[in-house]
Amino acid sequence: MREHFQQELEVVNQELVRMVVLVEENAKKAQKALIKQDSALAKQVIEADEKVNAMELEITDKCTLILAREQPVASDLRHIVACLKVVSDIERIGDYVVHAAKRAKELADEKYIKPLIDIPKMLDLGSKMLRDAVDALIHSDEVKARETAKLDSEMDHLNKQIYRELLALMLEDSDNIKQATKLLFLSRFLERMGDHAVTICSWAIYSAVGSHAEL
Amino acid sequence: MATDTPKFTVKDLDLWYGEVQALKKITFDIQQNTITALIGPSGCGKSTFLRQLNRMNDLIESVKVQGSVLYDGQDILNDCDVIELRQKVGMVFQKPNPFPMSIYDNVAYGPRLHGLAAGKKRHHALDEIVERSLVHAALFDEVKDRLHKSALGLSGGQQQRLCIARVLAVEPDVLLMDEPTSALDPISTAKIESLLDDLKKQYTIVIVTHNMQQAGRVSDATGFFLTGEMVEFGKTDDIFFNPKDSRTESYISGRFG
Amino acid sequence: MNSKKVPKTAHQRHQKELKRDQHHAIIHWVVTGFVLLVLLYIIGYTFTAGFKNLSLQFFISSDFDRGIAPQLFNTFYILILSMIPMLLIGISAAVYIVEYAKQGTMLKILRFATETLSSVPSIIIGLLGFLLFVTNFGEGPRWEFCRLAGALTLAILNLPWMMRTAEDALRAVPNSLREASYALGATKLQTIFRAVLPASIPGLMTGALIVSGRVIGETAALIYTSGVAGSSNGWFNFNLIHVPGDTLAVHIYTLFADNPTPAAQQGQTATAVVLIALVLGVNLLGRFFERRLTKRFSGE
């Protein structure tokens, strides 16, 4: 029954996954651009972000049409509302990946004051959290959502670690300050990836059980 | 919202049509000045239940009833004046059924029956009752110039509002509505739905509807009937946001008829 | 050579069926035309034969062979007198059958009795009326031939028909109407009198008009009950009993039976014209009301 409706819901889910895949790919490229100091690769990421923004609008429109035509209720309704909320979080995460790419471009011609280890880790972790959170939403998996949200503490840990290391470098040599502050800001932005992923997790729980969770 | 005794208290209501059990252990309360919607697939007992609230099932010979239904605390299944009950608990049917008389006579039928306009100024009092009821049913302006013309000349939506006016004229307490807008076009439906919102200030309304969206738009509480049982009953907000029973969820999401 | 052609294509078969339909239509038209012709012949013959004998005097005079004033009056008088018990009993019986009776032996017996009564020949009913009303009723002076006897006899004769019509009229009232009345807090009796009966008036009226047609034309049952005399009554004699009163139909019979003169024959044909005109008129009126009132009932 209501096959058309089921198909429409499936399409929205698939579009969300596509959006996540795009952001994941961008994150991977941004990571590589940072490590290899590849300016051209960074430029690709910046340009690809347009597609991510476009997808946010497309998915929003699709959800709105479903509301208008199918009048969903109960769990279907909660799911659509959650999808609507979550697209903007995914888009934000995509923006932070772009920040990483922009920093990569800026620092392409400099020598790194320290080898980049934790920042790439944050990109990986952010990607994973994004992927798992959206999975939890699509499959109405409350357990997975809660577990994914817990990973945010690791993100915070990485952020603090970077802060301490960069602080030390800045105190050591004032020439380091310029690059270090750029890296510090980048780290703060990447930490927000985790925060947005946690928001996605709470909407996944909303869709699954109908209550707002404190994660 | 009134928090006194519920208008209706139903406990373990069973009903049989001959050998077939049409209602199974129905138990819930209907609060005063609310609109309660009864939803569920065809033939699941919601209309049968509604008709028990004003003992219209008595008209069918093979009906047997067990359990308790209290109206304002009084037992209406046994030892109850059915005539008085039906005056206090009025009913509007699915297909508008005005009498083949004038609009005025239709509305005046009930008051004349119960002698509501008595005494010396009887004619004047009756005029007042008719006008008041038609105003309350949002029909007066449309028919005030042809009160003595046949009611059958009205459109479907107007006829249904006339039937509502007819019920209001006997000054009931409760309005029972059995799919009141299913035979009407969307505009008439919308008019009657906005009327309900107004009416609930003064009356308690129970409405059986096939239309999920109508239940959502109109009601404060909703009960879901399935094969003679009441599967779930609760605030409409809860039922439509997060129903407790998976059968309720399936039904309102349209995943089964 | 065997020239039986077997239709091979669908088109050929279709053509064959069309031809068959055409043949049937022609037969139907012929039969209908025949019936119409017969009716027109009867009316036409009577009118042409009798119209010339009509005059104003004919309608006013109470002379035996030159006027039908008393007969005209008697016809309507007996009609009204018979309608009263017919309507009362017929409608009451119909109300019982439709609103109260449960399916069972009582109902079956009632129906059987009604059907049987309706198939008794009218002259037998007339004899019953004679034996009961004319010779047995009345203390001191018996009723004798009188219009009341005629009216009551006709009531018995047409009662089954009236009951059936009333029953149909009541059944035609939709149940939703009764439900609406009950839901407003009416008792069964109130519902019957305030909602069902008023709603069935169109059907009842039509039925009454059609039964009137039968009453006006009744002859055999009246000969032995309201009698064959009446011209001597003069106009507007309202005596229910003791005084005979023949109707138009009976008058046609007596004009010839008593006194087969050419004048009588003129009177006969003229009376026949009036009678047929009356019956036609009542039937048409019945049909007219039926159409108008059912339209009102089912919504303008």
3-class DSSP state for residue B96?
coil
Say whether the B–C interface has 3 or more Cβ pairs within 8 Å. Answer: yes
State the pLDDT at residue B201: 92
Residue-wise pLDDT tens digits, C67-95 = 777 788 888 889 999 999 999 999 999 99
Cα A7 from Cα C33, distance rounded (Å):
66
State the pLDDT at residue A2: 78
Q: Which residues contact B34 (CB under 8 A, 6 or more apart)?
A: B1, B200, B204, B205, B219, B220, B221
CB proximity under 8 Å: B 181-220 to A: 212-213, 216
Interface residue A81 vs chain B (CB under 8 A): no
| Comparison of pLDDT for A123 and B194, the residue scoring more | A123
Q: Is there a contact between B175 and B201 (Cβ–Cβ < 8 Å)?
A: no
Confidence (pTM)? 0.81
Cα A66 from Cα A49, distance rounded (Å):
26
Residue-wise pLDDT tens digits, A132-165 = 999 999 999 999 999 999 999 999 999 999 999 9
pLDDT averaged over every residue in chain B? 92
Query: Which of B212, B249, B255 shows the shortest C-beta gap to A1?
Result: B255
- Of the pLDDT bands very low, low, confident and very high (cuts 50, 70, 90), residue A215 is confident
Residue-wise pLDDT tens digits, A1-44 = 678 888 999 999 999 999 999 999 999 999 999 999 999 999 99
Answer yes or no: do B257 and A72 touch at CB < 8 A: no
Angstrom CA distances, B108 to B84, B85, B132, B139, C187, stand at 17, 19, 11, 15, 16
> In A, which residues are within 8 Å of B254 by CB distance?
1-2, 5
B-C contacts at Cβ under 8 angstroms = 71
- Of the pLDDT bands very low, low, confident and very high (cuts 50, 70, 90), residue C286 is confident
Closest C-alpha among B165, B175, B164, B168 to residue B50: B175
Residue B178 has pLDDT above 60, yes or no: yes
| Comparison of pLDDT for C254 and B155, the residue scoring more | B155
* Consecutive H or E run containing A67: helix A39-70
Q: Give the ipTM.
A: 0.93
Query: Which of B95, B99, B167 shows the shortest C-beta gap to C195?
Result: B99
Residue B142 has pLDDT above 50, yes or no: yes
Mean pLDDT of B95-107: 95
Answer yes or no: do C183 and B109 touch at CB < 8 A: no
State the pLDDT at residue C235: 63
Residue-wise pLDDT tens digits, C212-236 = 988 998 888 888 888 777 766 666 6
State the pLDDT at residue C300: 39
Token representation of residue B61: 């010979």
- Of the pLDDT bands very low, low, confident and very high (cuts 50, 70, 90), residue A166 is very high
- Closest-CA distance, B132 to chain C, in angstroms, reads 17
- High-pLDDT (> 70) share of chain B, %: 98
Token representation of residue C281: 């008129």
Q: Is there a contact between B31 and B221 (Cβ–Cβ < 8 Å)?
A: yes
Q: Looking at residue B54, what DSSP letter applies?
A: T
Buried b or exposed e, range B240-257, using 16+ CB within 10 angstroms: bebbeeebbbebbbbeee
Q: Which residues contact A108 (CB under 8 A, 6 or more apart)?
A: A37, A38, A39, A42
Interface residue C297 vs chain B (CB under 8 A): yes
Q: Is there a contact between A198 and A215 (Cβ–Cβ < 8 Å)?
A: yes
Answer yes or no: do C176 and B95 touch at CB < 8 A: yes
pLDDT averaged over every residue in chain C? 84
Residue type, B33: N
For tokens 């005209």, what's the residue?
C72
- Closest-CA distance, B168 to chain C, in angstroms, reads 10
- Closest-CA distance, B241 to chain A, in angstroms, reads 4
Mean pLDDT of A68-90: 94
Say whether the B–A interface has 3 or more Cβ pairs within 8 Å. Answer: yes
Mean pLDDT of B150-159: 93
Cα B125 from Cα B105, distance rounded (Å):
14
> In B, which residues are within 8 Å of C183 by CB distance?
54, 56, 86, 90-91, 93, 167
> In C, which residues are within 8 Å of B170 by CB distance?
184-185
Interface residue B87 vs chain C (CB under 8 A): yes
- Closest-CA distance, C183 to chain B, in angstroms, reads 6
Q: Is B153 exposed, middle or buried (0-12, 13-18, 19+ CB in 10 A)?
A: middle
- Closest-CA distance, A80 to chain B, in angstroms, reads 12
Cα B187 from Cα B190, distance rounded (Å):
5
Angstrom CA distances, B136 to B85, B197, B200, B206, C141, stand at 22, 12, 12, 18, 68
> In B, which residues are within 8 Å of C174 by CB distance?
97
Answer yes or no: do B113 and C179 touch at CB < 8 A: no
Mean pLDDT of C23-52: 89
Residue C197 has pLDDT above 70, yes or no: yes
Answer yes or no: do B167 and C184 touch at CB < 8 A: yes
Residue-wise pLDDT tens digits, B83-96 = 999 999 999 999 99
Answer yes or no: do B113 and C185 touch at CB < 8 A: yes
Residue C297 has pLDDT above 70, yes or no: no
| Comparison of pLDDT for C141 and A186, the residue scoring more | A186
Token representation of residue B159: 């006829």
Q: Is there a contact between C177 and C199 (Cβ–Cβ < 8 Å)?
A: yes
Answer yes or no: do C296 and B100 touch at CB < 8 A: yes
Residue-wise pLDDT tens digits, C92-148 = 999 999 988 888 888 889 889 999 998 999 999 999 988 888 888 776 677 778 888
Per mean pLDDT, which range of B94-108, B242-256, C249-263 is the poorest? C249-263
Phi-psi region of B43 (alpha: psi -120 to 50; beta: other; left: phi over 0): left
Query: Which of C174, C184, C300 shows the shortest C-beta gap to B113?
Result: C184
Q: Is there a contact between B8 and B26 (Cβ–Cβ < 8 Å)?
A: no
